[in-house]
């Protein structure tokens, strides 16, 4: 699948249990291109998006936790405030 089929998503989560938090964080590290703490920028294909949704559904508790996936427009200018730095523009998915 080519990179042209990838879309930029912001994946955010709020998890009540430390164990589920670690599992969710560790899982998303494999997809992130940038971000910090519980907000990750991820370039995902449609299949990867479904996998992320399915895996977060499995890892998180629907009653106490929440996750949001927002599709972003990569053409929009980014505004950096404070000590913010641009995310790595090159990435490789194995």
Closest CA to 53 of 39, 37, 69: 69
pTM: 0.76
**How many C-beta atoms surround the C-beta of residue 53 within 10 A?**
14
Q: For the segment 80-92, what is each residue's pLDDT rounded down to a tens digit? A: 777 766 666 565 5
Of 34 and 6, which is predicted with more confidence? 6
Pairing status of strand 39-44 against strand 7-14: antiparallel
Contacts of 16 (CB under 8 A, 6+ apart): 61, 64, 65
Q: For the segment 9-30, what is each residue's pLDDT rounded down to a tens digit? A: 999 999 999 999 999 999 999 9
Q: For the segment 41-63, what is each residue's pLDDT rounded down to a tens digit? A: 999 999 999 999 999 999 999 99
């Amino acid at each position: 699948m080519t990179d042209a089929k990838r879309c930029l998503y912001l994946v955010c989560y709020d998890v009540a249990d430390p164990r589920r938090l670690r599992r969710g964080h560790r899982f998303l590290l494999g997809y992130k291109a940038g971000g910090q703490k519980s907000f990750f920028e991820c370039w995902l294909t449609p299949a990867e998006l479904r996998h992320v949704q399915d895996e977060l559904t499995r890892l998180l508790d629907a009653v106490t936790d929440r996750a949001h996936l927002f599709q972003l427009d990569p053409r929009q200018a980014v505004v950096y405030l404070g000590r913010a730095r641009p995310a790595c523009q090159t990435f490789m998915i194995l």
